[in-house]
């Protein structure tokens, strides 16, 4: 041929009598199969579901046991079993075939274990050696001894589910297998469950783990051999693995996983049938691709383990951290403690190691979101919202540094990097606990003031005495409900006047408070008591 090769897309559309992807016709591909050719549709879909459900149920246990590929191995090794059964009995009857299948399936499992238990060859290599050998043996037996017998390698791979409507008896047999497998799985659910998760416990409880394992493998063999004729080895493998793996991503409970897998298997059979009608292609292939597609979608979007969601969460965290770092820098670099002080963008850029262009873009974004205001001379001012956020972060940072130095005993010059990380992750409640544990310090170990939200200390706010600092004026409101016996008796001994106005006149080492009562007497209150006494603030002194 001497034609210039056109662009692939053009090629797909123009060069053949039929395009690669046909137009989807709602009625022709979705509705009509169920209105006009009900018998045709019904038998095929029934066959698909009858294969998918038992495979999916058994597949859950294979996936959990880390034996997913054993299903694949068994499905290939069955060829030797079928050929052997035919050679021995001379018949293609169902009994002979199923006996051959079970024998080949168990032989596969036993041989694989013989190799990887007894030598240093690992399980994966053992599987590859065994199943390829048995498949090759099957091919040789068939070509050598069974001339003209209807054991078809094409059929072994692709299957011919499309022919189901011509052979309802096969569909009925498969239905029987499906029912048997499901019933067996329900009856022995407890045994399967415990041996799948913890074979040692199972043995200790008197459940024969090895016997359950071999029974499971025998069930897989029977299902695979009955299904293979209809849908081919590859679809059987798809049905054994994909629905189970998909369900595994969606739930942590085995019963739910099995039900979900069965449902997903059945749905992919139905959807695959319609896809095959639409594309006019192999139904088995379409079902396999649909189930793989279901897995991919679940993997990307599942609420718990979905990759997209995790990426999104990580991205959100990263942007929040970047923003908080910017706000903190603006807060720290303010020339004066007043909230409306401005910082030059160039100073910020230097601190955050950002290029001027990036910095300008970033400032604009933060301004759009209402965190800062940026004037034409590139002066950055924190908005109210931005200021509060920045204060929160600085408080977290300085409290954490104080905690590391005072309580954990980490050297002063080593506390900063750790606080840098954790400041973004500490919740407000945890911070309050840390603050309390430290005795509500005014300064961090570097001598910088630890900012606190002024709402907590505005006139009229109720809080603990421990939050008050020198100069604060407050009313005694009562005793905290959580105070216990000893604290209560000591508070009683102080004889504080309920409802009276007090002023903090001295505070030492952040462990005790000296207050002056209206009658002019002074009392010393230590930290546990200060935490238990509730006060209403009247006139707070200004703090940063």
Partner 1 sequence: MMASADMLAFGMPRILAARVESTAGLWEQLGAFFSFQHVSLVYGVVGAVLLGVCCGLLGSFVVLRKMSLLGDSIGHAVLPGICLAFVVVQTKNALAIFAGAIISGVLASLVISVISRYSRIKSDTAVGLALSGFFGLGIILLTRIQRMAYGDQSGLDRYMFGDAAALGRGDLQLMGLVTLVVVLVISLFFRYFLATSFDESFAASIGMPVRLIQVALMTLLALAIVIALQAVGVVLVSAMLITPAATAYLLTDRLGRMLALSALLGVLSGFVGVLLSFLLNRIPTGPCMVLAATTWFGLAYLLSPRQGVAIRAIRRSRRSRRVRLENLLKTFYHELGGEGLDQPVTLERLARARSETVGYVRRVAGTLAASGLAGLAGDRLTLTSVGQQRARQIIRNHRLWELYLTQEARIAADHVHRDAEEIEHVLGEEIVARLEAGLDHPDLDPHGHEIPRVKG
Which of the residues 204 through 243 are near partner 1 (CB under 8 A)? 234-235, 237-238, 240-242
Q: Is 281 in the site for partner 1 (CB under 8 A)?
A: yes
Q: Which helix (H) or strand (E) holds 473?
A: strand 473-479
Q: Is 82 in the site for partner 1 (CB under 8 A)?
A: no
Q: Quote the least distance from Cβ 159 to partner 1, whole Å.
A: 9
Is position 151 an interface residue for partner 1 (rule: CB under 8 A)?
yes
d(CA 388, CA 390): 5
Structural contact between residues 268 and 291, judged by C-beta atoms closer than 8 angstroms: yes
> How far, in Å, are 253, 292, 313, 473 from residue 306 at the CA level?
17, 15, 11, 54
* Binding characters for partner 1, 92-121, by CB under 8 A (x = yes): -----------------------x--xxxx
- C-alpha separations of 176 from 51, 95, 168, 342 in Å: 11, 14, 12, 79
Phi, psi of 159 (to 5 degrees): 75, 175
Q: Which is nearer to partner 1, 49 or 249 (CB)?
A: 249
Q: Quick check: 323 and 348 in contact, CB under 8 A?
A: no
Which of 2, 4, 8, 447 is the binder for partner 1 (CB under 8 A)? Answer: 8
23 binds partner 1 (CB under 8 A): no
Closest CA to 71 of 220, 209, 272: 220
Strands of 363-465 (E only): list them.
372-374, 379-382, 462-464
CB of 122 to partner 1, least distance (A): 5
Tell me if 306 sits within 8 A of 298, measured CB to CB. yes
User: Is position 122 an interface residue for partner 1 (rule: CB under 8 A)?
Assistant: yes
Asked if 14 interacts with partner 1 (CB under 8 A), we say no
Question: DSSP letters of 276-317?
Answer: HHHHT--HHHHHHHHHHHHHHHHHHH-TTT-HHHHHHHHHHH
Angle, helices 189-197 vs 38-64, to 10°: value is 40
- Provide, rounded to whole angstroms, the least separation between the CB of residue 315 and partner 1: 15
Q: Which of 44, 97, 156, 277 binds partner 1 (CB under 8 A)?
A: 156
| CB-nearer residue toward partner 1: 186 or 307 | 307
Burial class from Cβ neighbours inside 10 Å (0-12, 13-18, 19+) for residue 373 reads: middle
The nearer residue to partner 1, 229 or 423, going by C-beta atoms, is 229
CB nearer partner 1, residue 110 or residue 307: 307
CA 288/CA 160 separation, integer angstroms:
14
**Is 15 near partner 1 (CB under 8 A)?**
yes
- Closest separation between CB of residue 304 and partner 1, Å? 10
Radius of gyration in angstroms for the set of CA atoms belonging to the chain, rounded to a whole number: 37
Q: Strand, helix or coil at 451?
A: coil
CA-closest candidate to residue 507, choices 455, 470, 462, 535: 470
* CB 188, CB 178: distance < 8 Å: no
CB of 333 vs partner 1, minimal distance in Å: 40
Closest CA to 52 of 296, 256, 272: 272
Binding region for partner 1 (CB under 8 A) out of 129-137, 341-349, 404-412, 470-478 = 129-137
**Footprint of partner 1 on residues 240-259 (CB under 8 A)?**
240-242, 244-245, 248-249
184 binds partner 1 (CB under 8 A): no
Q: For the CB of residue 99, give the shortest distance to partner 1 in the complex, in Å.
A: 21
**Is 260 among the residues that bind partner 1 (CB under 8 A)?**
no
Q: Does 142 participate in binding partner 1 (rule CB under 8 A)? A: yes
Establish if 20 lies at the interface with partner 1 (CB under 8 A).
yes
Residue 118 or 368 with smaller CB distance to partner 1: 118
Tokens of 164: 């189901």
Site for partner 1 in 463-502 (CB under 8 A): none
CA distance 393 to 100: 70
Structure tokens at 485: 């016996």
Q: Which is nearer to partner 1, 80 or 491 (CB)?
A: 80
Interface with partner 1 includes 201 (CB under 8 A)?
no
Q: How many residues bind partner 1 (CB under 8 A)?
A: 82
Decide whether 289 or 535 has the Cβ nearer to partner 1.
289
Between 228 and 393, name the residue whose CB sits nearer to partner 1. Answer: 228
The residue range among 11-19, 166-174, 346-354, 386-394 that interacts with partner 1, by the rule CB under 8 A, is 11-19
| Calculated CA dihedral for residues 323, 326, 329, 335, nearest 10 degrees | -110
Q: Is the dihedral of CA 524, 530, 534, 540 positive or negative?
A: positive
Which one of 215-223, 277-285, 404-412, 477-485 is the stretch in contact with partner 1 (CB under 8 A)? 277-285
Q: Does 314 bind partner 1 (CB under 8 A)?
A: no
Q: Measured from the CB atom, is 149 or 437 closer to partner 1?
A: 149
CB of 394 to partner 1, least distance (A): 36
Answer for which of 2, 4, 14, 16 binds partner 1 (CB under 8 A) is: 16
Helices (H), ranges, 90-208:
94-118, 123-145, 153-158, 168-187, 189-197, 199-204
- Judged by CB under 8 A, the residue of 148, 376, 409, 485 near partner 1 is 148
Interface region with partner 1, contact rule CB under 8 A, candidates 60-68, 187-195, 402-410, 475-483? 60-68
Could you say which of 99, 127, 202, 450 contacts partner 1 (CB under 8 A)?
127
**Interface residue with partner 1, options 169, 280, 377, 519 (CB under 8 A):** 280
């Amino acid at each position: 041929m001497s034609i210039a090769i056109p662009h692939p897309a053009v090629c797909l559309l123009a060069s053949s009598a039929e395009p690669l992807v046909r137009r989807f016709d709602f009625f022709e591909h979705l509705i009509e199969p169920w209105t006009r050719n009900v018998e045709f549709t019904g038998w095929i879909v029934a066959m698909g579901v009858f294969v998918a459900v038992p495979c999916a149920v058994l597949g859950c246990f294979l996936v959990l046991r880390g034996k997913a590929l054993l299903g694949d191995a068994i499905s290939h090794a069955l060829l030797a079993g079928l050929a052997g059964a035919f050679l021995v009995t001379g018949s293609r009857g169902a009994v002979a075939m199923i006996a051959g299948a079970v024998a080949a399936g168990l032989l596969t499992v036993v041989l694989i274990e013989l190799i990887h238990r007894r030598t240093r060859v690992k399980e994966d290599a053992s599987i590859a050696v065994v199943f390829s050998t048995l498949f090759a043996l099957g091919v040789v037996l068939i070509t050598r001894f069974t001339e003209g017998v209807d054991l078809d390698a094409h059929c072994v791979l692709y299957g011919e589910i499309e022919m189901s409507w011509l052979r309802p008896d096969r569909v009925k047999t498969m239905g029987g297998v499906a029912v048997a497998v499901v019933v067996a799985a329900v009856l022995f659910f407890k045994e399967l469950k415990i041996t799948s998760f913890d074979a040692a416990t199972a043995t200790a409880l008197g459940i024969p783990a090895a016997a359950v394992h071999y029974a499971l493998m025998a069930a897989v063999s029977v299902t695979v051999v009955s299904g293979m004729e209809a849908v081919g080895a590859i679809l059987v493998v798809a049905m054994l693995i994909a629905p189970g793996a998909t369900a595994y991503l969606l739930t942590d409970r085995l019963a739910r996983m099995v039900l979900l897998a069965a449902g997903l298997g059945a749905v992919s059979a139905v959807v695959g049938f319609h896809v095959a009608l639409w594309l006019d292609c192999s139904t088995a292939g379409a079902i396999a691709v649909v189930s793989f597609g279901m897995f991919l979608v679940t993997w990307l979007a599942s609420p718990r383990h979905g990759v997209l969601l995790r990426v999104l969460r990580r991205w959100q965290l990263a942007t929040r951290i970047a923003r908080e770092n910017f706000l903190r820098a603006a807060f720290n670099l303010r020339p004066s403690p007043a909230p409306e002080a401005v910082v030059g963008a160039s100073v910020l850029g230097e601190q955050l190691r950002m290029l001027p262009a990036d910095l300008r873009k970033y400032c604009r974004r933060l301004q759009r979101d209402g965190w800062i205001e940026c004037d034409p001379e590139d002066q950055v001012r924190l908005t109210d919202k931005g200021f509060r956020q920045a204060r929160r972060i600085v408080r977290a940072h300085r409290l954490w540094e104080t905690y590391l130095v005072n309580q954990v005993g980490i050297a002063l010059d080593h506390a900063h990097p750790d606080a840098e990380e954790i400041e973004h992750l500490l919740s407000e409640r945890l911070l309050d606990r840390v603050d309390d544990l430290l005795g509500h310090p005014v300064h961090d170990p570097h001598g910088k003031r630890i900012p606190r939200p002024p709402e907590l200390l505005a006139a009229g706010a109720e809080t603990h005495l421990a939050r008050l600092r020198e100069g604060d004026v407050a009313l005694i409101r009562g005793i905290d409900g959580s105070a216990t016996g000893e604290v209560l008796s000591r508070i009683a001994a102080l004889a504080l006047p309920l409802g009276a106005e007090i002023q903090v006149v001295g505070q030492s080492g952040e462990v005790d408070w000296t207050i002056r009562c209206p009658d002019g007497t002074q009392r010393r209150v230590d930290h546990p008591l200060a935490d238990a006494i509730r006060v209403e603030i009247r006139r707070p002194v200004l703090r940063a």
